[in-house]
Chain A
Amino acid sequence: MPEKEIPEDGMCGEYQQKMLAIRAAFEAGASGRATVAARAEAMDKLVAGLWAQAVRQTPTLGQGIALVALGGYGRRELFPYSDVDLLYLLDGKASEQEVKQPIRRVSQALWDCGIRLSPQTRRRSEAEKFEPDNVEFALALLDHRLLAGDAAVYEKFAGTGLPRMLEKEHRAIATGLATLTAERHRKYGDTLFHLEPSIKDCPGGLRDVHVCAWLATLEKTDTPGEKADSGWAAGEREEFEQAVEFLFGVRCFLHYRHERDDNTLDWQAQDAAAKVWMGMERRRAAREGPAPDAAYWMRLYFRHARIVERRLTHMLEESAVKPPPGRWTAVGRAALARVRRRPDGPTAGWRLEHGRAVLSAAGTGVAGDPAQDPEVVLPLFAAMSQTGATLDRASEMRVSQALPVLSAHLEEGPALWMHLQEILLGPYAGKTLRAMHALGLLELLIPEFHGIDALVIRDAYHRYTVDEHTMVLIDTLHGLESGQASPMGEWADRFGGLLRDVQHQALLYLAALLHDTGKGRSTDDHARESARMAESVAGRLELDAYESELLLGLIRNHLEMSAALRRDIFDLETVRAFSGKVQTPEALRMLTLFTYADIAAVHPDALTPWKAENLWRLYLATSNYLDRSVDDERVGARVGRELVKRVVAVMPERRAEVAEFLEGFPERYLRTRTPEQVRLHFEMAERFAADRVQIEFRYSAETSEITLVTPDRAMLFADMAGALAAWGMNIVTADAFSNRQGVVVDNFRFTDTFRTLEMNASEHEAFVASVHDVMAGTAPVEKLLAGRRRSGRKAPLVEVETRVDFDDEASTHSTLLQVVAQDMPGLLRAVSQTLAGQGCNIEVALVDTEGETAIDVFYVTRGGGKLDGEQEAELKDALLAAIAANAG
């Protein structure tokens, strides 16, 4: 091997000196752009120098080889520690064997100089061919630049060969690029809101900036005449340039900090960046005053990242490499017809087409500018939430600009709650809320959200910022609802079933939206802070007392179930303490689902089947405990004062009578009724003198409700069940409570098997009158039952085995009886009649249906006390017989 002529230390040494100078300049305030350009320039000189020397040694190298910079180097963007992409481009004349050694020596010299070189050698014919498997190489070629060597070779490549290839393949390359981008985004949860983002690969990062540039280049090939930079909105271009400048600066900062190609903005790096005002104007000026804290600085990062992400999204859509927006999902399409049929739909200022939601132009049909009218804009977002439509760009900008006017016209109260509910309950709620958040519309409706915008909380477990975590939680709940395939498998099904049983789903989603707003305040107890903020939201939405309490209770307690899971869930004390916090089955269901979604939203790996199983067990144990403790927790002088106060508040002048009415009711009765409902029952009881049988009936096409308030007597529950069965009503849920004075409140929710009430409105009165007469004793229920229609019994989808179980420990003074059987008409009548026939008195009844299974829980006494073993056995036999007979 010939000796080296000129010591390479000279050139390498010069390069190293320059690197030090560049670093010093950066730390003194030079911009990221200037820094990367300076390194590229220094690299150019070094490469050219080394090549010149190689040519002197081996003159044949002078022809047929061109040295071409690719990728970042080609763009003159060499970050302090990033790789250098270098292509040795060979023309037909040069023999590969001959040039291999000299090329390797040049590469070696660069490596020896501490440079991470990525060299490639290609024949021109190879380089000009597009390999579908190697999209990355094609992309790197887009940024080519001649460094040294045979200019003629380069000319043939850059002037003829490459453009020809691009003309042919630019669409395929663009599609490949879109696919790679989507994959990369997926790895990062499709969100830019990471607590420790990789500023190169995360959405909104430098990779995305490159993708924008590549798409523009590929686009140029498509329409050579057109301006490549069409499609910028006013001010958007400067914002984008600023974002790029910021990211450049931060990447240089990270490289110098780590002294390698590490692009992760971890916490220490965030602290350090904030301390030196990285990327902020003040960096160059003297640093007076306190530096910003890391959370503030990160918000700046997210703002820039958002701009990059938006630009990328627009470019991907415009270049038509993504599936055209005209694709509705199956769910979206199903909702589309429904949404379009609504009266406040497309005729009122917006329309849905090709997967897009579009605001109508000003002055067409609707008075004024639709973008400025909350009554247009909010239903529009509701429709997006139902169908998954994306807001088109023009509409986005209009809404963004109209925010001040929207704010002025926004009406609070029930109307706003109605709109919000529609947005929260749609299957695409998460997507829609994120869009509203990015536009600033969400903060308009709920200013409390502002405090957690892009908020970074230092925490080893969380992956996302607080606002993104909230959105992921909401997505998780909707995922359960729709039965999405999930790695959680059967657990997702189980919890999905639970979600379907929740009566107040909108409140659950509202609680999800607000539960972490308290983290924006510096406090140890963010649950309490969030509840405080939710209280003012509840006030503005004019939620009633029951809904408010459910919402606030859930937020206040949102960590309680996770806390209980860390204790021994099989210990009765843990269950007892936890059930004291939730108090009602509805609140328990909501908290269980919330906890499931909260854990899942912390981090993709956070929720394991192991954790889900423990959560389910705790739910079971608590649900059973709640049912078993109904009888013992009664309203009295000492217990339940808070509940009593709430009811008295709606009737302050009747305080004493109300308290007397409430005494003796199980607390469960008060906890599952609004104060207004309790007042209604009280007033019904006051009318006993005129009529001892007081009935309140509320009809609905789905589930009707009938409430009976009457003095207790034997066979009461059985007669009621019989009257309903005679009319063909199928009881879904029911409960029965009595107070100390023996006033009974029975409530039944039922469906109308033969649609009698639906088809004949006049029958409502007849129905109520008939029930009244049965309960008053003027019409024998047997006669009514004899005349009833029998529906053809469909074969059940699920065979339910009949079970009768007793629990003597649950209550101090009554026996708990649980009956589980195949749900069918007449079942409740058969059971309650048997109980009466056996001389048992029903103290409390809790009736529920789950699919085809009827679950009836009774607290019964016989002769004023619990049942003994013999009586239980006798009762069990009688029940089994009666149930079998009813099944026919």
Chain B
Amino acid sequence: MQKIEAVIQPSKLDAVKDALVEIGVQGMTITEARGHGRQKGHTEFYRGREYSVDLLPKVKLETVVSDEMLDKAVAAIIGVARTGTIGDGKIFVTKIDEAIRIRNDERGEMAL
């Protein structure tokens, strides 16, 4: 089982969710986040005051999928989240040792 952590533009969230659901991913966790990569901050002037954003709003999406599903899921995310400009985000993949469904104690891929 593999965990996918994707940091994406907030405006892409709905599209990414839909794309994952469409290929059969059953669950995910969404977090409001802030961050930056090589994308520079943004400065806005308002009434003589400078408002600079070093940390831009992002959304972190986490989901755990079976090994077979991994490539499809990653491709689905990239497919809708990519715009080709700096700030598109990143995807990280880690191996998961165990998954357990709290309600009925199902384990392994059954729990996904």
- Whether A820 and B48, one on each chain, are in contact in the complex, defined by CB atoms closer than 8 angstroms, is yes
Which residue, A569, A610, A621, has most C-beta atoms of chain B within 10 A?
A610
Q: Which of B34, B44, B48, B57 contacts A621 (CB 8 A)?
A: B44
Segment at the A interface, from B7-15, B66-74, B94-102: B7-15
- Whether B11 and A567, one on each chain, are in contact in the complex, defined by CB atoms closer than 8 angstroms, is yes
A614 in contact (CB, < 8 A): yes
Cβ contacts under 8 Å, B34 to chain A: 610
Cβ contacts under 8 Å, A848 to chain B: 47
Cβ contacts under 8 Å, A623 to chain B: 46
Residues 591 to 650 of chain A near chain B (Cβ within 8 Å): 608, 610-611, 613-614, 617, 620-621, 623-624
- Whether B57 and A803, one on each chain, are in contact in the complex, defined by CB atoms closer than 8 angstroms, is no
- Whether B47 and A855, one on each chain, are in contact in the complex, defined by CB atoms closer than 8 angstroms, is yes
- Whether B48 and A853, one on each chain, are in contact in the complex, defined by CB atoms closer than 8 angstroms, is yes
Residue of A nearest to B58 (CB): A610
A100 in contact (CB, < 8 A): no
B105 in contact (CB, < 8 A): no
Which residue, A568, A801, A803, A848, has most C-beta atoms of chain B within 10 A?
A568
Cβ contacts under 8 Å, A567 to chain B: 11
Residues 45 to 73 of chain B near chain A (Cβ within 8 Å): 45-48, 51, 53, 56-57
- Whether B14 and A610, one on each chain, are in contact in the complex, defined by CB atoms closer than 8 angstroms, is no
A98 in contact (CB, < 8 A): no
Residue of B nearest to A565 (CB): B10
Alpha-carbon gap, A621 to B53, bound state (A)? 13
- Given contacts A566-B14, A608-B32, A617 and B48 within 8 Å (CB-CB): no
- Whether A855 and B48, one on each chain, are in contact in the complex, defined by CB atoms closer than 8 angstroms, is yes
Cβ contacts under 8 Å, A624 to chain B: 44-46
Closest Cβ of chain A to B87, distance in Å, is: 8
A111 in contact (CB, < 8 A): no
Cβ contacts under 8 Å, A820 to chain B: 47-48
Residue of B nearest to A610 (CB): B32
Alpha-carbon gap, A805 to B9, bound state (A)? 31
- Whether B32 and A617, one on each chain, are in contact in the complex, defined by CB atoms closer than 8 angstroms, is no
A570 in contact (CB, < 8 A): yes
- Whether B45 and A617, one on each chain, are in contact in the complex, defined by CB atoms closer than 8 angstroms, is no
A167 in contact (CB, < 8 A): no
Cβ contacts under 8 Å, B47 to chain A: 820, 848, 850, 853, 855
A800 in contact (CB, < 8 A): yes
- Whether A617 and B53, one on each chain, are in contact in the complex, defined by CB atoms closer than 8 angstroms, is yes
B42 in contact (CB, < 8 A): yes
> How many residues of chain B are within 8 Å of chain A by beta carbon?
18
- Given contacts A620-B46, A805-B45, A568 and B32 within 8 Å (CB-CB): no
Cβ contacts under 8 Å, B53 to chain A: 617
Binary per-residue interface labels of chain A (125-158) against chain B in the complex, 1 for a CB within 8 Å, 0 otherwise: 0000000000000000000000000000000000
Alpha-carbon gap, A818 to B50, bound state (A)? 13
Alpha-carbon gap, A820 to B49, bound state (A)? 9
Residue of A nearest to B57 (CB): A614
Residue of B nearest to A568 (CB): B11
- Whether B48 and A611, one on each chain, are in contact in the complex, defined by CB atoms closer than 8 angstroms, is no
Cβ contacts under 8 Å, A855 to chain B: 47-48
Secondary structure class of chain B's binding surface, majority of residues: strand
Alpha-carbon gap, A623 to B48, bound state (A)? 13
Cβ contacts under 8 Å, A853 to chain B: 47-48
Alpha-carbon gap, A614 to B32, bound state (A)? 11
Residues 544 to 589 of chain A near chain B (Cβ within 8 Å): 566-570
Residue of A nearest to B47 (CB): A855
Alpha-carbon gap, A294 to B9, bound state (A)? 39
Cβ contacts under 8 Å, A803 to chain B: 48
- Whether A800 and B48, one on each chain, are in contact in the complex, defined by CB atoms closer than 8 angstroms, is yes
- Whether B32 and A611, one on each chain, are in contact in the complex, defined by CB atoms closer than 8 angstroms, is yes
Cβ contacts under 8 Å, A614 to chain B: 10, 57
Q: Which of A610, A617, A800, A821 contacts B44 (CB 8 A)?
A: A617
- Whether B57 and A620, one on each chain, are in contact in the complex, defined by CB atoms closer than 8 angstroms, is no
Closest Cβ of chain A to B66, distance in Å, is: 27
Cβ contacts under 8 Å, A610 to chain B: 32-34, 57
Binary per-residue interface labels of chain B (24-35) against chain A in the complex, 1 for a CB within 8 Å, 0 otherwise: 000000001110
Residues 641 to 684 of chain A near chain B (Cβ within 8 Å): none
- Whether B10 and A566, one on each chain, are in contact in the complex, defined by CB atoms closer than 8 angstroms, is yes
Binary per-residue interface labels of chain A (818-836) against chain B in the complex, 1 for a CB within 8 Å, 0 otherwise: 1011000000000000000
Alpha-carbon gap, A805 to B11, bound state (A)? 32
Closest Cβ of chain B to A305, distance in Å, is: 31
Cβ contacts under 8 Å, B32 to chain A: 608, 610-611
- Whether B9 and A568, one on each chain, are in contact in the complex, defined by CB atoms closer than 8 angstroms, is yes
Alpha-carbon gap, A608 to B32, bound state (A)? 9
Closest Cβ of chain A to B15, distance in Å, is: 11
Closest Cβ of chain B to A471, distance in Å, is: 27
Alpha-carbon gap, A853 to B34, bound state (A)? 31
- Whether A566 and B11, one on each chain, are in contact in the complex, defined by CB atoms closer than 8 angstroms, is yes
Alpha-carbon gap, A800 to B56, bound state (A)? 28
Alpha-carbon gap, A791 to B13, bound state (A)? 58
Closest Cβ of chain B to A606, distance in Å, is: 12
> Closest 4 A-B residue pairs measured CB to CB?
A820-B48, A610-B32, A620-B46, A568-B11
The contact sample of 14 A-B pairs, CB cut-off 8 A, is A566-B10, A566-B14, A568-B11, A569-B57, A610-B33, A614-B57, A617-B44, A620-B46, A623-B46, A624-B44, A805-B45, A818-B48, A850-B47, A855-B48
Q: In the complex, given contacts A800-B48, A805-B45, A850-B47, what are 16 additional A-B residue pairs having Cβ atoms less than 8 angstroms apart?
A: A566-B11, A566-B14, A568-B9, A568-B11, A569-B57, A570-B42, A610-B33, A613-B57, A617-B44, A617-B53, A620-B44, A803-B48, A820-B48, A848-B47, A853-B47, A853-B48
